Structure 1
């Protein structure tokens, strides 16, 4: 029982019985045995606190997610990932939407080896999953973007150090995601995190102070919510930022809902309380008043696209963004990226929200040589417009919730659209294999939520299909996409989306008229027509009560 929950769900009872962080000794014991059948159901759930999920088909092999604040890693750390992938994690290596790596097909007996290898290079998987503060994200160009207001790197590192392996936060009601922005190009995904810091300036006691506005309650999955500004400004001081983050997280810990797992994220508490009441409780926990939010803030821009060659704010230095096909990267490619970062840069590699890879600190005089390297012919900095921002969740065959294969399907779809239309602006297509929205399809220009439909030939083999959401966005005009069609056969998707994007291209008023702006001006019926479903009142355009699918299907 908590302040807001009279009855606890079974997972909450398990956490009261034994904290998630307390399972480490048990993991080593289970690994020594190597028998997956010895792992209790409750301990299997606690494995998440150490970044481990039981891969499909749950036969003793695991996915491990690395904790990598801000997506920044050294070449030596990248080499450690390669070593694991080539020895004890032979499954697919993926870059995630939260700027880290996932490794698949790790046997129970090999988990200690993974932990020890990560620790040897200053990495870990602690609290990369579970009901805890997850990997703190930021802009992939933090500290190097020319128009950045604040370098967020010291702040997300301080928050990571404060949250990680801290039993004050090891029993939150649900997962808890944090982001820290610096402003400028490709600002971080503040609207969809539980706790976000975005830059601002405010006059305090006659002086202009640089700092952060604070947002809470963002999150996607089945019921997406955008974060709310709680009207708080904190100076750009490490102690001040950690202090407010601590208070906010403790309020969530103590008042968050724990009766239903699908109604436990911070977004539900914020929706019920409102921003002002939540702010008041945070002030109570702090014991001192807070400044109201700054109104002098930079534009919040989010394109998801840092692929290419860009000048850094540091003189004569560039970053080069490499296109990784829906985040799937081989150990050999990671090894080569590490080598290139040493030879051309400063032994640093960055991972992006769009599942791509970035090499920073490249001297201008060495750009041509880097661009001629074989790896950059595979992971092309000048990749096709739509493929460079396409995002896909893990999907089949690894994810237990997935209904369809996603990685190759999304890549091929984006490639087909690049062949059909030639765009001069980013177009973000995100594909998830279930409603959990691990690809963040709710905030994509074109969001796809995969599923299956009955085979018209009457066989038991179901066919891949997708719901279509349009007009999602991040940044100043953050919006949840509108679900305009459901259960669209995958075989029809490239043609239908090709029609849609071609119509957008013909109707847009200027290059600044982004897809989300255009989609907002259209009715759902108009968008369905552009998808090729026919006029609303015709036999081909009659929609079900869900407002989406053609009755003739």
Structure 2
């Protein structure tokens, strides 16, 4: 670990990496339970794969931005520690696979040389904050949301309020009312707005809360039609504090914010959010409106000789993959990346060749592609030729031909049937049989390997998720077909209907049937979802019903796409979030750790952080004692109430004024130095009592054993 200390410039990151290395060693020595270690590594972007003994590393790119040097750094790291493939995700991250656990601290240290993090890319944390890829150059945007997305990323990274919540939390920033970041499907989604107040232009956001995809999609509630810009981050913090305290922790499938709001009602949720306001470290948060200046390409670079092999494809590419930026004289170009996979060799080839003619700001898009910015019109032919040479010049970005798919059974524990194999086959169907649809950006096809919607099938015009069917005692791969999802605009969206399930190998026939029917029976200029609404769900069920006939199955139907062996479901334990820790000793250790963090924060005058760490120590200590006596613990709110009932009222522990009243002082005081120090002392005294009680109870039990 000495090399990390000497090479890293950021002491905060250095501390993170040293701690990770130490925890890995303790885990290997059996000093940390597997459940606890899983939670710890997930919060550091380290995700167990379907294949045993190796890890997927998720690299967190806020709003999908990377410089050319960062892209090169990620490529170098993939070559050294992974397989030389970069997987672009629907949350604008980059994933690399087949990494040794012991190598992850070293890998992280090398990423940090170019200010790249894996911290909180997985686990029960605020995940990567996404944004419309056009943000900053969008001709329709009221203002650039990029600085606000960046400020939110930095504010909540390592923030004590969101390090170990009941479940993950997702935030998105759309650049305009077109809502291309899907604000309506996030825990918090925002859309920029401007208002005239006393003759002045005021910035703000429409704020959506409580949306989500997964197996049970929910459309978000509108929290504010207009929230002034300096109130956005404080509001998000309020929501996170409520989610941390009241969110479900025992039942993982009911632990998202959408379920909490469904359970208590939106009115009660809003009341709880307002209760948190006094405790905030910032009652308003002013975001600097300008990022670092964009490094633009030189106007007259010396370019190598080039040629365009297929002028007809170039014209199609210009029609579908480029747009004029709001900045005069500049264009942006989208790059289709099939299934989100691009090699490190091609990445370096593109970096070197494109550097003279694009800005030093590349965006990973939410449909697994790339966006190149600030291209002068005269350089568009050269950009195309570079992409053509690399094999990445396909037209039809974000069209029906540009299918989104999660990795599915290739690497994910939760995958049921192949998503990447069927996606590739469907793209072939469109390319070979419906070539003109490369210009159709109305219909979106999205595929997930299971019902959890990492491929966003729940908001697709035509969606599929992996499943299985039984026939004559044998299992075969299947696809659930969903229709009618998508963006409406301004924070409104559509959740796709589950229509029918078919064998996976009939997926191409599903697509052919739908497209031929739409071609034949759709009205002039009628959009696909309007056609779906007019015909109705039952119409499409009947249309596709012949494809469900299991009496005509062939041997190949029992083999999944891209596989050789007969299909068998092999679902592992999902790692989209940490698991509940139910070991009393571990919980008490965590409470002690939180106290140490609190003391450190107070020493650095970070009083709000110190208070929240002390709060967490109260909760972890109480949870440990409750679990030691068989009391179930679903939420922090429940723990606080139950501790008074089972311990204080029963006379087992003395807490002056009651446990709840003591702990919930957190919402009754400003985060001042005096309160922070008082609250810490109370938390430390409670922890000492908890340890004494545990030892007094455990000792007789050990003697009897």
TM-score range (shorter-chain normalised) is: 0.7 to 0.9
1:316 is the counterpart of 2:329: yes
- How far off its partner does 1:365 sit? 1.5
1:260 to 251, 273, 278: 251
- How far off its partner does 1:155 sit? 0.2
1:229 corresponds in structure 2 to 222
1: distance between equivalents of 2:547 and 2:59?
47
2:510 corresponds in structure 1 to 496
1:192 to 174, 182, 185: 185
2: distance between equivalents of 1:261 and 1:34?
24
1: distance between equivalents of 2:101 and 2:398?
41
- How far off its partner does 1:29 sit? 3.1
2:41 corresponds in structure 1 to 47
Q: Write the mapping of 1:111-190 to structure 2, written as runs, cut at 5 A.
A: 111-183=104-176, 187-190=180-183
CA 1:202–1:450 in structure 2 vs 1: closer, same or farther (change >3 Å)?
A: same
1: distance between equivalents of 2:327 and 2:431?
34
3-state SS, counterpart of residue 276 of structure 2: helix
1:444 to 443, 455, 460: 460
2:273 to 266, 282, 293: 282
Instruction: Give the number of the structure whose residues are more often helix, by fraction.
Output: 2
With structure 1 as the length reference, what TM-score do the two structures score?
0.83
Given that 1:214 and 1:232 are in contact with CA atoms closer than 8 Å, whether structure 2 keeps it comes out as yes
Q: Which moved more, 1:489-498 or 1:206-215?
A: 206-215
3-state SS, counterpart of residue 199 of structure 1: strand
With structure 2 as the length reference, what TM-score do the two structures score?
0.66
Given that 2:145 and 2:192 are in contact with CA atoms closer than 8 Å, whether structure 1 keeps it comes out as no
CA 1:92–1:436 in structure 2 vs 1: closer, same or farther (change >3 Å)?
A: farther
Q: Which moved more, 1:397-406 or 1:500-509?
A: 500-509
3-state SS, counterpart of residue 533 of structure 1: helix
- How far off its partner does 1:37 sit? 7.9
2:570 corresponds in structure 1 to none
Q: Deviations over 1:510-546 (max 9, x none)?
A: 33x321221122222210233362999xx99xxxxxx
1:480 corresponds in structure 2 to 495
1: distance between equivalents of 2:18 and 2:118?
15
2:519 to 505, 508, 513: 505
Given that 1:336 and 1:375 are in contact with CA atoms closer than 8 Å, whether structure 2 keeps it comes out as no
- How far off its partner does 1:327 sit? 0.5
Given that 1:322 and 1:376 are in contact with CA atoms closer than 8 Å, whether structure 2 keeps it comes out as no
1: distance between equivalents of 2:469 and 2:548?
24
1: distance between equivalents of 2:267 and 2:399?
41
Q: Write the mapping of 1:389-538 to structure 2, written as runs, cut at 5 A.
A: 389-421=402-434, 422-423=436-437, 424-426=439-441, 427-454=443-470, 462-476=475-489, 477-486=492-501, 488-511=502-525, 513-531=526-544, 533=546
- How far off its partner does 1:85 sit? 1.4
CA 1:505–1:149 in structure 2 vs 1: closer, same or farther (change >3 Å)?
A: farther
3-state SS, counterpart of residue 213 of structure 1: strand
1:296 corresponds in structure 2 to none
1:293 corresponds in structure 2 to none
CA 1:202–1:230 in structure 2 vs 1: closer, same or farther (change >3 Å)?
A: same
1:10 corresponds in structure 2 to none
3-state SS, counterpart of residue 448 of structure 1: strand
Given that 1:30 and 1:36 are in contact with CA atoms closer than 8 Å, whether structure 2 keeps it comes out as no
2:339 to 326, 330, 333: 326
1: distance between equivalents of 2:535 and 2:375?
44
Q: Deviations over 1:340-389 (max 9, x none)?
A: 44221122211111101111111112111111115565112514875643
2: distance between equivalents of 1:514 and 1:389?
18
Q: Which moved more, 1:527-536 or 1:491-500?
A: 527-536
- How far off its partner does 1:452 sit? 2.7
2: distance between equivalents of 1:455 and 1:329?
38
2:357 to 332, 344, 349: 344
2: distance between equivalents of 1:402 and 1:321?
29
Given that 2:503 and 2:548 are in contact with CA atoms closer than 8 Å, whether structure 1 keeps it comes out as no
1:357 to 366, 370, 373: 370
Given that 1:128 and 1:135 are in contact with CA atoms closer than 8 Å, whether structure 2 keeps it comes out as yes
Q: Deviations over 1:188-213 (max 9, x none)?
A: 11111101111223454565523101
1: distance between equivalents of 2:539 and 2:39?
46
Q: Which moved more, 1:414-423 or 1:242-251?
A: 414-423
Q: Which moved more, 1:31-40 or 1:312-321?
A: 31-40
- How far off its partner does 1:497 sit? 1.8
- How far off its partner does 1:411 sit? 1.8
- How far off its partner does 1:415 sit? 1.9
2: distance between equivalents of 1:277 and 1:33?
43
1:13 corresponds in structure 2 to none
Q: Deviations over 1:227-269 (max 9, x none)?
A: 11013522234xx322121112112222222231110100012
2: distance between equivalents of 1:367 and 1:37?
57
Q: Write the mapping of 1:378-397 to structure 2, written as runs, cut at 5 A.
A: 378-383=391-396, 386=399, 388-397=401-410
2:262 corresponds in structure 1 to 271
CA 1:176–1:374 in structure 2 vs 1: closer, same or farther (change >3 Å)?
A: closer
2: distance between equivalents of 1:214 and 1:411?
37
1: distance between equivalents of 2:263 and 2:15?
33
CA 1:475–1:525 in structure 2 vs 1: closer, same or farther (change >3 Å)?
A: closer
Given that 1:386 and 1:417 are in contact with CA atoms closer than 8 Å, whether structure 2 keeps it comes out as no
CA 1:280–1:231 in structure 2 vs 1: closer, same or farther (change >3 Å)?
A: farther
CA 1:277–1:306 in structure 2 vs 1: closer, same or farther (change >3 Å)?
A: farther
Q: Which moved more, 1:115-124 or 1:493-502?
A: 493-502
3-state SS, counterpart of residue 389 of structure 1: coil
Q: Deviations over 1:129-157 (max 9, x none)?
A: 11111100000111011111120100000
Given that 1:75 and 1:341 are in contact with CA atoms closer than 8 Å, whether structure 2 keeps it comes out as no
Q: Deviations over 1:381-439 (max 9, x none)?
A: 51487564311111123111112222232122122134333334222111111111110
